Amino acid sequence: MPFTGVSAMDRKREFVGLALAEGANRRELCRRFGVSATLGYRLLARYRAEGEAGLMERSRRPASSPSRTNDGVEAAVLAVRAEHPAWGGRKIAAVLRRRGLKAPSPSTVTEILRRHEVELGGFGGGETAFIRFEHPAPNDLWQMDFKGHVPLRSGRLHPLTVLDDHSRFCLVLAACPNQRTETVRACLIDAFSRYGLPWRMTTDNGSPWGNGPGDPYTPLGVWLMEQDIRISHSRPYHPQTQGKDERFHRTLKAEALSGPPFEDLAQAARNLEHWRDVYNSERPHEAIQLATPLDRYSLSPRSYDPTPAPFDYAPDDLTRRVQQGGRFSFKNRELKVPKAFAGKTIAIRPTKDDGLFDLFFRTTRIKSIDLREPMHQS
């Protein structure tokens, strides 16, 4: 069942958050979460009537109340900090306000922590926020990367992360055993099935989404192109291109990966999925005015199709099917494109310069060929 298991509450929170987004298609949301419309609307009605308590099997006492004493406020500050030891005054104050408490100012929260000898250390806020370009709408751009290699007590963990540029919503935080194409593809299919398709994705130049600078085309990238997702890669040695995902990795390390090593991948998956829900729906984000990513995210209207229809090139396009090794024939010459396009159909289009042609895969220009040089073969 979609709302059972250790992360049932997390999934319910995410479901109602997306359902309450402006313009949300709730029947489509129910389909993507694998629940009936009856169950989905009942859950939403209970949430509207009772808040988060409506998502549980039985009611629970609110964590805080506007009528609590100053001692109660102080205890609430310490409780939030104990639960999230990397959070500082601004985040804790914002969380308390969201819970309905008349929260003290962020500076007062910091003083409460210091008075109780809570070690702020490298955590606790105080960092100057980065000013970054932000895409205007959810799903305009997703950033994707691996958070390096993380040791486990048994084996190694490769956290795969996908972040929405506009909202900072974490779409994927997967405990992967490796960084192979099929592993990433399976995680993306899960995300596409639930959230829909982005218009564009950006990655670095490493495997499995690139072969290093100068050769950005891999089977994974070609698969994404077949879903009409534009692909871009960061400039070499320029991690700022992936700035939001890089910053997310710092938060992930501080809040979810700084403790003792996980026992195995199963434990890592459970902990990372719970932290992802906290990050998306509870943790105030300073770069978006202390809103949560779920406050700003909405589902993509573009649904995932596991078997996309063949692309219709223009009637005057010259088309060729790429053979193994990336080879194809044109005007009595054997030419090459990246091997990732083997088995695919490409279009050859003349340019304004005689003898110079552009090669396209679907809507993406992949290279040019110059037939004015007799010995040129690539």
Can you tell me the mean pLDDT for 174-185?
A: 96
Per-residue pLDDT reduced to its tens digit, 232-251: 887 655 555 567 888 899 99
pLDDT of 123 strictly over 60 = no
Distances (CA, A) of 333 to 238, 327, 328: 38, 10, 8
Q: Rounded mean pLDDT of 341-368?
A: 94
pTM: 0.75
| Residue range 34-59: mean pLDDT, rounded | 83
Please give the pLDDT value at position 241: 55
Least confident of 126-140, 289-303, 304-318: 126-140
pLDDT at 121: 53
Each residue of 23-42: pLDDT tens digit?
899 999 999 988 898 889 99
Reply yes or no on whether the pLDDT at 188 is more than 50.
yes
Provide the pLDDT for residue 68: 41
Mean pLDDT of 59-73: 54
For 189-236, how does the pLDDT look when each residue is reduced to its tens digit (9 = 90+)? 999 999 999 999 999 888 898 877 667 899 999 999 999 999 988 765
